[in-house]
Amino acid sequence: MPAQLKLNGRLTIEDLNALTEMPVEGITYDQMYIEKEPICPEYKEPDQDIIPSSKRTVVVDPGRICMPFGAMWASVGIHKCIPFVQGAQGCTTYPRYTFSRIFREPVSIATASFHEDTAVFGGRKNFIEGIRNLIIRYHPEVIAIITVCSSEIIGDDMEGYLDESIDELEEEFGPEITDEVKFAIIHTPSFTGSHVEGYNRAAAAFLKALAKRSTPEPKVNIIPGMITPGDIREIKHILRLMDIESTILFDISETLDCPLRLPQTMPYYPKGGTRINDIVNMGNSLATFALCPDAGGAGAKYLEKRFKVPAMIGPMPMGIYNTDFFIKNLAERTGKPVAEEIKDERGILIDAMADTFHYTMGRRVAIYGDPDIAAAVTRFVCELGMEPAIVGSGTESKQFVEEVWAAAHEYDYKPILLNGGDMFEWEDYIKKEKIDLILSNSKAANISKEAKVPLVRIGFPVYDRVGCQRRATVGYRGSEYLLDLIVNTLLESKFPDDRLQQ
Amino acid sequence: MTACNNKKSSFPSCSRPSAPGKITERSCAYAGARWMLAPLKDAIHVVHGPVGCAYNGVMVRGTAYRIFSTDLREKDIIFGGRERLARTLKEAKILMPDAKYIFVYNTCSSAIIGDDMEAICNKMEDELGCPIVLVDCPGFKGQSEAAGHKIAYECLLNRFVGQKQRDTGHYDVNIIGQYNVNETKIIKSLLSRMGINVHCVFTGDASYERIITAHCVKLNLIICKNTGQFFAETMQERYGVPYLKVSFLSLSQSINSLRRIGKYFGLEKEAETVIDEEYKAIKSQLTQFLPGLKGKKAAVFLGAARIADLVKTFEALDMEVVFVGSRFGNAVNYRDIRQMAKVDIHIVDDPSEQNLEDLFCKLRPDVFIAGIKEQSLCHKFGIGTLLPQLGAYVGFKGFLNFTRDVHKAIYAPVWRLAREEMP
Amino acid sequence: MSVPEKYKLKCDISIPERYKHHVLTNAEKPNIPACNVKTIPGDMTERGCAFAGSRGVVGGPIGDCIQIIHSPAGCAWYQWGTRRNLSAVYAWAGQDTLCNDSHNRRRAITTDLQEKDVVFGGMEKLEKTCFEAWRLIPGAAGILIYTTCTSGLIGDDCYSVARRVEKKIGRPVFVIDAPGFSGVSQSTGHHHFNVQFYDQMLEYRKKCPEVCMKKDEMGPYDIAIIGEFNMDWDLVYIKPLFEKLGCRIVSVFTGGERMENLLKIPDVKLNVLHCQRSCTYISKLIKEGFQVPYIDASFFGIEQTASALRGVADFFGSQKMKEKAEQIIEEEIRCITPAIDFYREKLTGKKVGMYVGGPRVWHWQRVMKELGMEVVFSMCTFAHEDDYEKINARSKNGLFVVDNPNEFEIEECLEKFKPDLFLTGLKEKYLCRKLGVPTVNSHSYEKGPYACFRGMVNFARDIYQGVYAPVWKFVNL
């Protein structure tokens, strides 16, 4: 290679174009050096007065996305359920991109394809045609009808459209056509809440549409919230050890993390997901556990109000205290003893904490995420002897504030709390305070690099590393995995190489 | 275990072999020699034995050092490994041409097959043109790693110290028995601010050049009495260098030591200035940990020489020491502990794992000062640990570190969570 | 013209209007499918919205502006650092440090419309947002405001807000009004961006003539590259080629470009148009308004890149430049031949399916041929008639082409044509995985850049790595 190798072996644009023979393996950007140009020649300080979210109107780097996304997340956890989004094409394309980035799985979501005429005349025609096409081509068992900003603003009457749609279908194909398919309508105008609320509304909507009470059954309902397929598998593992029958509404563990096994049937449907009959049966359970109060709590409350199924809402079972709480309640509600294996798993987590407290204690942590996850992480880091210095939730939540204060009070910390603040504000604190570790999602990666504070990725969304969707951070075993991530990250960043061996 | 109950006059019987079959915490003479010599980075270290001994000798006090092995195999055990040793020495010298001296460690295998290593070392010394010293520390020698400590110091004394003269400064000292590299830095900085020049630190900061001229100092400061005493005494005998026993564990001992050194050199004022500055720098931070430590119970299981100092330290922190123990303490150590401690303390020598477990349950310390092997066992009983070999706990800042880390070990939330009952 | 029976996709039996979107190519008598028309609701389309076309594709790469999304937070979030349109322009992260990601991808800035804004209007909020964003990112060169479904439907007059803000901050503030529901696909967003940007640029150049290029600054060989978005740093290979030729590249519309240079595009001698779907509009407008001609160019593959260079040289007419072009082409081909030969040998006879937005489907027909691969079917999300004409012209006769395919059609085509590799985007690639078909991300690339001669080696390597990944051996048990 005649061109001069410089900059740690990376090639400038001139070098690249001066090579007289391209290597067979090509040259990609990891070998390229491109000089950064500042946006303006001199540093200009942002106006400090308006850095706190409360002092401004503009939202910079929001920690939340649109409400329909949460409803779609929930819906794809149901077996052979296709969400039908009453809106423009972007309202499905964007979420599908987002799902693919996080889960690396195909996600089928249908759109009513709003165009200008729809905005003028309403979405009735698109809805009826769309539902028809979906049913006759895909034969779904459930259709989750999800509204968006535009359909809510133009005031589409979804309930009326659905009736009409069923009438027309039965006329065209006979009355059996709609026997095999169930519907749930979820209203999710984004200007009234975030994805967390979207999931919450989906939980209530599905249960209202489908759940019944007939004969009581000795099983529990779990509404997991927006946690990973790995998390749900861990919850199932705990239930299995406890010998407890359960229905998990919305079970994405086998729809958003699926095997590649040929041949596939066409059209492609993941083999898993919550079955309709199980949802219908949820009115018969001993109790409902909503693991994330803000994402799913509404479903548990509905079952309690309507069918007297006791609602056990939150906190997310992460760390010792929260998981103890979950398991204690499971045992109480079902009358089953706590399995020896579970006590062992708890002991292994405790042991891992005991073996690592010299690494973790006194470290100052910045946390940001969805409210339920951020609150649970806060308590867990307290249990590790770490100080939650800045805790933020992208979605505003009362429960989040209460849970964080309870943990902080118990462990005698006074974190800066950002309830519904954006990541820009949070970022500013990280850059100004002395922080040892960030616990947040992939959106914090740039912040981590700029502030030179290491990042442990957790929560929604993690798209710039593989495998996070398969790992659990709930339960004792999940917490142990999170502990390992935290400690290993600290070892990587805070300990010189000659201090790593004992 | 040979334990002793807490009577002022009684000591545990000690310096005896461990009973076969018991799960002892002791190690071997080879390990002891490595512990002492590993920090000499400008030397070549060759271990004559199967590769395992070398592998285990790489890591000393949390740091990895380069080590060469003759990697003895079955046929070498049968036909002798001399050829292999000679070749290894040659090759090692090629790989580290700048090395000034070579240590060859004897191990169980090489000692038993009876390779005449002395002869090979002598022969190769001429060929390679640099001193080659046989560290005769096969694992079976002596009762514990303490044997290796002595062997290592004998090698240094007999082969290197006194080989070369140098001009001695008025305030030149050696430090003997200080092996932790980070702690060495702290002590050196304290002394240098008093105007005292530390020439050679055995072995936390030493080099060939400084070892061979180590006798040209005004004073030797002994930190570890067990390993250092013999070394310093020999130097006094041979070269007339006086010695002073000092300790930099805890505030009072640091202050006391600095004052004694100051007095020796007539640098009393300088000593007071350093003490003053250092104390001011840590005072406010230190006081925030003290209330939390008061009345807490500690236990210590370490190399014997430091135990008495640590007992004093804990007493200064208003903590109670519920038991102490060592793998290889001698009668002097245990007598020192008795004399030092305000109250009668339960002392154990060479306890087995089971003995320790009993003590954890019976005496329930809040924090256990120990080594890595004992640490994980202790955690299983819900007790926090501290590993002195990893931290830097000497002097004033070191004392702050120590206090903070003891506080961490006691107050880690995990112990409370572990005690909380599951339903 | 409908396709023969054997090409009739079974999945479309119940929505027969889809068959109008399927054709077989013919170079002599081009067959154009129904295209650029509304999507059939519920057919599981892969199309996006106009907002995606304006903010994501055309506006997104602009390097030094504050880009404000006038919407609830979600729309802004989805555009936040997701497309790999790279830039060298970085905002300040602190006194002495630059951010970790280029400015156009680093932040999501939004008015975060709430229910009360939807009821009472969001103009006031937009105005405050603009001023505040300006105070938080004081080094920016201007502001771009994008509308969405929500702001479009509530009818905020964003233009009047923009003019007021512009006056106060003294920098261009442009509005791109392309709400998600406008038009049939993201293509409408491209169009809206082109036209509206052009109009506002014109207006701004009139208001502030100092932003135009001075006479004495102009050079005889000034060109702008239009419709190049610097995916994975394609510009690393595109720019030097034309510079070697003797041209000066004044501006790129819009890959990583600064506002200052975008405003100078009408002052160049020639526009070289790469993406002829998303940016023909502005090229035509500039041609009409400023008499600056444009030429179509493809920067993919050997033959097409060579012809782009020749085209520019021919335009300027200088013999020296023509010779230089030949010399460059010869050098470049020599530089990549060993690598390309290696891959051609490995890839010859392999079957490839192709599904991209529109232009890349015709850009890449020749590239596949140069790699010895056979294109077995092609699909476009938002192509228009002219795109399909080019596909007819550049592909083998009888190639099965689908306009605006839906998920089910993609599955059936993968099953029917059994390609060894599928060139497609992120959403579709995981579906292909489940069917055991390897893919190469054709929007943001895998490990680019892919453009020009040297980039083609990367493209060939990624195709090779897709086809030959050992995992496919284990798929069929």
Q: What is the DSSP string of C372-441?
A: T-EEEEEEESS--HHHHHHHHHHSPTT-EEEES-BHHHHHHHHHHH--SEEEE-HHHHHHHHHTT--EEE
Q: Any chain A CB within 8 A of the CB of C27?
A: no
Q: Which of C309, C243, C268, C239 is nearest to C449 (CA)?
A: C239
Asked if the model's pLDDT at residue A395 lies above 90, the reply is: yes
CB A55 within 8 A of CB A49: yes
| Neighbouring C-alpha atoms within 13 Å toward the C-beta of B3 | 14
Token digits for C238? 């595109």
CATH of domain B172-269: 3.40.50.1980
pLDDT of res. C268: 97
Neighbours of B155 (CB within 10 A): 19
Q: Is B96 exposed, middle or buried (0-12, 13-18, 19+ CB in 10 A)?
A: middle
Neighbours of C88 (CB within 10 A): 18
Partner-chain contact A119 C109, CB within 8 Å: no
pLDDT in tens, A166-210: 999 999 999 888 888 999 999 999 999 999 999 999 999 999 999
pLDDT of res. B7: 52
- How far, in Å, CA of B343 to CA of B319, rounded? 12
Domains parsed from chain A with CATH numbers? 1-47 (no CATH), 67-210 (3.40.50.1980), 219-258+269-336 (3.40.50.1980), 341-499 (3.40.50.1980)
Q: Which of C226, B423, C36 is nearest to A336 (CA)?
A: B423
Partner-chain contact B423 A331, CB within 8 Å: yes
Q: What is the mean pLDDT of residues C449-475?
A: 95
Instruction: Give, as one character, the DSSP assignment of residue C190.
Output: H
Q: What is the mean pLDDT of residues B142-155?
A: 89
Partner-chain contact C140 A40, CB within 8 Å: yes
Q: What is the mean pLDDT of residues C436-441?
A: 96
Instruction: Give, as one character, the DSSP assignment of residue C56.
Output: I
Q: Which of B14-18, B178-182, C147-151 is the least confident region?
A: B14-18
Does the active-site annotation cover C334? Answer: no
Which residue in C18, C70, C105, C190 is the catalytic one? C190
Helix (H) / strand (E) element for A13: namely helix A13-18
Q: Which of A54-58, A163-167, B3-7, B105-109 is the least confident region?
A: B3-7
pLDDT in tens, C254-287: 999 999 999 999 999 999 999 999 999 999 999 9
Asked if the model's pLDDT at residue A444 lies above 80, the reply is: yes
Asked if the model's pLDDT at residue A39 lies above 70, the reply is: yes
CB A250 within 8 A of CB A229: no
Average pLDDT, chain A: 95
CATH of C50-183, one of 3.40.50.1980, 3.90.1150.10, 3.90.79.10, 3.40.50.1370: 3.40.50.1980
Q: What is the mean pLDDT of residues B291-308?
A: 89
For the domain made up of B2-14+287-419, the CATH class stated in words is: alpha beta
Secondary structure of A341-375 in the HEC alphabet? Answer: HHHHHHHHHHHHHHHHHHHHCCCEEEEEECHHHHH
Q: What is the mean pLDDT of residues C350-379?
A: 96
The nearest CA of chain B is from the CA of A324 a distance in Å of 7
Q: What are the C-alpha distances in Å from C235 to residues A29, C296, C350, C459? A: 12, 17, 29, 15
Q: Any chain A CB within 8 A of the CB of B420?
A: yes
Q: Which of B167, C76, B311, C309 is nearest to A62 (CA)?
A: C76
CATH of domain C215-330: 3.40.50.1980
For the domain made up of B29-142, the CATH class stated in words is: alpha beta
Mutation target to probe the B interface, by most B beta carbons within 10 A, among A324, A325, A326, A357 is A357
Q: What is the mean pLDDT of residues B231-258?
A: 93
pLDDT in tens, B72-130: 999 999 999 999 999 999 999 999 999 999 999 999 999 999 889 999 999 999 999 99
Name the segment(s) of chain C with CATH classification 3.40.50.1980: 5-38+336-475, 50-183, 215-330
Q: What is the mean pLDDT of residues C153-163?
A: 96
B330 phi and psi angles, rounded to 5 deg: -115, 175
Neighbours of C392 (CB within 10 A): 23
Q: If you write DSSP's letter for every residue of A42-55 in order, what string do you get?
A: S-----GGG-SGGG
- How far, in Å, CA of A158 to CA of A143, rounded? 13
pLDDT of res. B3: 52
pLDDT in tens, C50-77: 999 999 999 999 999 999 999 999 999 9
CB A392 within 8 A of CB A435: no
Buried b (16+ CB within 10 A) or exposed e, B61-74: bbbebebbbbbbee
3-class SS at A133?
helix
pLDDT in tens, A258-280: 999 888 888 999 999 999 999 99
Rounded to a whole number, what is the largest CA-CA distance in chain A?
80
B372 contacts in chain A (CB < 8 Å): 502
B405 contacts in chain A (CB < 8 Å): 358
pLDDT of res. B422: 66
Q: What is the mean pLDDT of residues A120-127?
A: 94
Does the active-site annotation cover C452? Answer: no
Alpha-carbon dihedral angle through residues A85, A87, A91, A93, given to the nearest 10 degrees = 70
Q: What is the mean pLDDT of residues C415-443?
A: 95
Q: What are the C-alpha distances in Å from A36 to residues A401, B304, C87? A: 40, 59, 9
- How far, in Å, CA of C21 to CA of C24, rounded? 10
CB A219 within 8 A of CB C102: no
Question: Where exactly are the structural domains of chain B?
Answer: 2-14+287-419, 29-142, 172-269
Q: Measured in Å, how far apart are chain B's first and last C-alpha atoms?
A: 38
pLDDT in tens, C418-428: 999 999 999 99
Q: Any chain C CB within 8 A of the CB of A29?
A: yes
Q: Which residue has the tokens 């030094």?
A: C64
Does the active-site annotation cover C178? Answer: no
| Neighbouring C-alpha atoms within 13 Å toward the C-beta of A86 | 35
C401 phi and psi angles, rounded to 5 deg: -125, 135
- How far, in Å, CA of B48 to CA of B37, rounded? 16
B420 contacts in chain A (CB < 8 Å): 320, 324
Does the active-site annotation cover C247? Answer: no
Helix (H) / strand (E) element for A389: namely strand A387-393
> By 3-state DSSP, what share of chain A in percent is helix, strand and coil, each rounded to 5?
50, 15, 35
Asked if the model's pLDDT at residue A293 lies above 60, the reply is: yes
Helix (H) / strand (E) element for B301: namely strand B297-301
CB B409 within 8 A of CB A357: yes
Asked if the model's pLDDT at residue B6 lies above 60, the reply is: no
pLDDT of res. B142: 85
The nearest CA of chain C is from the CA of A118 a distance in Å of 8
Token digits for A53? 């979210």
Mutation target to probe the A interface, by most A beta carbons within 10 A, among C77, C249, C344 is C77
pLDDT of res. A4: 46
Equal fold, B29-142 vs B172-269: yes
Which residue in C21, C55, C70, C83 is the catalytic one? C83
CB C411 within 8 A of CB C422: no
pLDDT of res. B306: 81
CATH of domain C5-38+336-475: 3.40.50.1980
